[in-house]
Amino acid sequence: MEYAESIVSTAPRDTCWSALSEVATWPQWTTSMTEVAGLDGPNLKPGNRFRVTQPGLPKAVWEVTEVKEGESFVWVNRAPGVHTVAFHRLTSRPDGTEIAIGITQTGPLAWLVGALTAGKTRRYLKLEAAGLKAASESHRV
């Protein structure tokens, strides 16, 4: 199962990155998350884990696997039968920054999780992209 969302912000990429990379502040700008806690500290770096609480979903621990400073990061969540990879990517454009986020779910139970959560997943990706855009444009980072 794959889901993705993108939106364009008028904010420059470095401003968008400031909001994106402060992972623990995400609940301030998206209603799709109620808590994000750094389990290995607040820094966005490979190996660090974050516990994410989202309405209507079980708490999940995400481990950062890749960071391209100022540009993108990837983190993964492993649950029985489902491996989820989420990307967060910023691309400079003449009119601002394209914000792209998405997830891919694989494993023997990915089809079931996808069937049960597809609508919520799409809605949450839209909320997160729109929230990051708004936070970046208002400099609430």
Q: How far apart are CA 134 and CA 141, in angstroms?
A: 10
Domain edges within the chain:
2-138
Q: Global pTM?
A: 0.93
Q: How far apart are CA 76 and CA 113, in angstroms?
A: 16
Fold of 2-138: Alpha-D-Glucose-1,6-Bisphosphate; Chain A, domain 4 (3.30.530)
pLDDT in tens, 87-124: 999 999 999 999 999 999 999 999 999 999 999 999 99
Say what the pLDDT of residue 73 is. 98
